[in-house]
């Protein structure tokens, strides 16, 4: 019988709503571990630089994990974007790519796969997710308009703001509490949506945006029921509903796992239903489809025509949109694989396992575990570091020193200052440890857990950071920071004392 812990009791460490669905294979030992339903046939050698070098490299990188060189990283948990492992079917498809500026067969294969899987009529290709956001914002966002959304993503917000709009975040309250038992923390609060419409009038609202697998609050899904209700409010008020489906694979898995009305639906049926509820859906193919690229889907001719003219201007001709033909072939197959529950369950299962092991060691993580990666609550982990010294950024730097592991700050550093120059404190201070799909083995995840457990025992040694170079827009990408004291040397000395000759 398949093991379905939701709704109901978790199988493993049930603390703080931690839940695990392991593979359909039971272990005789009774141990609950996620079992990989794939085998590794191409490998890349990894290096773990010695401690002294790690200390030097993180300083050279201005304590910003984006600025580390990949060759100096042991486990790259920065992102799941463009770094997912491809299948042999994807690799094979790339050899059949049809090179052509206009009318490439590779494009037509992609277009017809999208029609088949998502049921939408029109497709506009783009080189990645933020390129779709640029086009949507240019077409629909006018100065003074509002874009209500369950939660923002960094590039989404930047494009809306660049075009003179304002975002309004109306995720349900549970979405912003780090630990919860709510299965769909990415749901939109319908009352807040109605209130916004009443306050501004529908003429001021550019569109309503839902984000699948809500990135910045810990990869949290929305339910199909919630999306249906949001669409009803949009219909009643003549508003466009736009879906960011970049993290749809995880969201599909969670809907299938957790939403009673969807248990008997196939992943493809759920996907069809989701796409049919949204006027426009866009995605980053760097996440959805285990490839690269992206695009915008709609079944409404008028909307398609409005956006179409910007594609050749910013992306490329309509039959590639900035994607290489090989990328399009890999994406076509990767989207097909997204309909396979065995395949899309691997990421969330690894993440749930990692979260539950961390909880067992008393380490604060976002619960329920979501998609994308395991999210550590830095506000609690290093609760002695004030928000204006970037606790999540400091923890990211410390984890690199402790283990050569590269995570990503998702907190105040990732926010932009207010117009008056004051810090805009993030709702949550998270260290995201992404789980690129099909990339890591369980022992590598165990290693990451081990180093986090050591860091937690020595958390008092971790100190804050301050900017020494701070770009105005999206400062987290290439801003540089310095430690506020010599805490990094002290942390390294403790590592040396505890691990002696270990890397």
**Residues with catalytic roles:** 101, 153-154, 244, 287, 410, 476
Task: Decide if residue 157 touches ligand F0G (CB under 6 A).
Answer: no
Size of interface with ligand F0G, in residues (CB under 6 A): 15
247 binds ligand F0G (CB under 6 A): yes
Q: Is 81 in the site for ligand F0G (CB under 6 A)?
A: yes
Q: Taking CB under 6 A as the rule, does residue 167 contact ligand F0G?
A: no
Min separation Cβ 350 and ligand F0G, Å = 17
| Cα angle 197-187-113, degrees, rounded to a multiple of 5 | 100
User: Residue written as tokens 């040397």?
Assistant: 489
DSSP, residue by residue, 2-21: ----SSS--SS--GGG----
Q: Residue 55, Cβ neighbours under 10 Å: how many?
A: 19
Take residue 301 and report the two structure tokens written for it: 């001719």
CB of 466 to ligand F0G, least distance (A): 24
Q: Which stretch binds ligand F0G (CB under 6 A): 59-67, 242-250, 253-261, 384-392?
A: 242-250
The yes or no reply on residue 90 touching ligand F0G (CB under 6 A) is no
Examine residue 128 and tell whether it contacts ligand F0G (CB under 6 A).
yes
Which residues have a Cβ under 8 Å from the Cβ of 50 and sit 6 or more positions away? 503
- Site residues for ligand F0G, 294-313, by CB under 6 A, read 294
Nearer to ligand F0G, 211 or 357 (CB): 211
Is 324 near ligand F0G (CB under 6 A)?
no
Per CB under 6 A, does 84 bind ligand F0G?
no
Least separation in angstroms between residue 283's CB and ligand F0G is 8
CB of 253 to ligand F0G, least distance (A): 16
Say how far apart CA 214 and CA 225 lie, in whole Å.
16
Interface residue with ligand F0G, options 211, 259, 315, 409 (CB under 6 A): 211
Sort strands 75-76 and 166-169 into parallel, antiparallel or unpaired: unpaired
Could you give the maximum distance between any two Cα atoms of the chain, in Å?
Answer: 66
Could you say which of 84, 87, 246, 281 contacts ligand F0G (CB under 6 A)?
246
Per-residue H/E/C for 23-47: CCCCCCCCCCCCCCCCCCCCCCCCC
Using an 8 Å Cβ cutoff, are 275 and 297 in contact?
Answer: yes
Does residue 120 contact residue 114 with C-beta atoms inside 8 Å?
A: yes
Residue 153 makes contact with ligand F0G by CB under 6 A: yes
For residues 404 and 351, is the Cβ–Cβ distance under 8 A?
Answer: no
Instruction: Say whether residue 286 binds ligand F0G (CB under 6 A).
Output: yes
- Tokens 């060759």 sit on residue: 71
Residues of this chain that interact with ligand F0G (CB under 6 A) are 79, 81, 128-130, 153, 155, 211, 215, 244, 246-247, 284, 286, 294
């Amino acid at each position: 019988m398949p093991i379905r812990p939701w709704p109901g009791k978790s199988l493993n460490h049930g603390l703080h709503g931690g839940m695990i669905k392991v593979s359909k294979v039971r272990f005789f030992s009774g141990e609950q571990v996620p079992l990989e339903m794939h085998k590794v046939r191409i490998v890349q050698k990894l290096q773990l630089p010695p401690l002294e070098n790690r200390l030097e490299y993180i300083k050279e990188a201005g304590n910003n994990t984006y600025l580390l060189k990949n060759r100096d990283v042991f486990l790259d948990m920065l992102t799941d974007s463009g770094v997912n492992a491809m299948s042999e079917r994807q690799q094979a498809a790339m050899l059949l790519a049809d090179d052509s500026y206009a009318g490439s067969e590779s494009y037509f294969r992609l277009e017809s796969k999208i029609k088949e899987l998502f049921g939408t009529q029109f497709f506009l290709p783009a080189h990645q997710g933020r390129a779709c956001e640029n086009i949507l914002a240019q077409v629909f966002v006018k100065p003074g308009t509002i874009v209500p959304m369950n939660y923002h993503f960094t590039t989404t917000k930047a494009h809306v703001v660049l075009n003179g709009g304002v975002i309004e975040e109306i995720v349900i309250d549970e979405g912003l509490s780090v630990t919860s038992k709510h299965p769909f923390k990415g749901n939109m609060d319908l009352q807040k949506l109605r209130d916004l419409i009443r306050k501004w009038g529908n003429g001021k609202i550019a569109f309503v945006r839902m984000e699948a697998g809500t990135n910045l609050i810990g990869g949290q899904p929305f339910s199909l029921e919630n999306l249906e209700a949001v669409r009803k409010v949009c219909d009643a008020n003549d508003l466009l509903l736009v879906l960011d489906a970049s993290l749809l694979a995880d969201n599909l898995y969670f809907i299938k796992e957790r939403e009673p009305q969807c248990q008997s639906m196939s992943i493809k049926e759920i996907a069809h239903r989701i796409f049919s509820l949204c006027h426009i859906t866009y995605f980053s193919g760097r996440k959805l489809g285990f490839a690269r690229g992206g695009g915008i889907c709609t079944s409404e001719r008028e909307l398609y025509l409005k956006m179409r003219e910007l594609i050749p201007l910013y992306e490329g001709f309509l039959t590639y949109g900035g994607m290489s033909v090989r990328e399009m072939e890999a994406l076509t197959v990767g989207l097909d694989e997204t309909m396979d529950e065995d395949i899309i369950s691997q990421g969330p299962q690894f993440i749930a396992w990692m979260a539950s092991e961390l909880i067992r060691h008393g380490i604060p993580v976002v619960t329920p575990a979501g998609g994308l990666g395991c999210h550590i609550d830095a506000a609690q982990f290093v609760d002695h570091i004030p928000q204006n010294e970037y606790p999540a950024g400091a923890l990211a730097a410390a984890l690199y020193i402790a283990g050569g592991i590269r995570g990503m700050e998702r907190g105040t550093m990732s926010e932009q200052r207010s117009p008056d120059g004051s810090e805009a404190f993030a709702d949550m201070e998270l260290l995201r440890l992404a789980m690129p799909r099909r990339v890591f083995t369980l022992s590598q995840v165990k290693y990451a857990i081990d180093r986090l457990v050591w860091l937690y025992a020595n958390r008092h040694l971790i100190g804050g950071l301050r900017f020494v170079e701070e770009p105005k827009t999206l400062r987290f990408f290439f801003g540089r920071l310095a430690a506020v004291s010599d805490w990094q040397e002290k942390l390294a000395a403790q590592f040396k004392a505890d691990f002696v000759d270990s890397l």
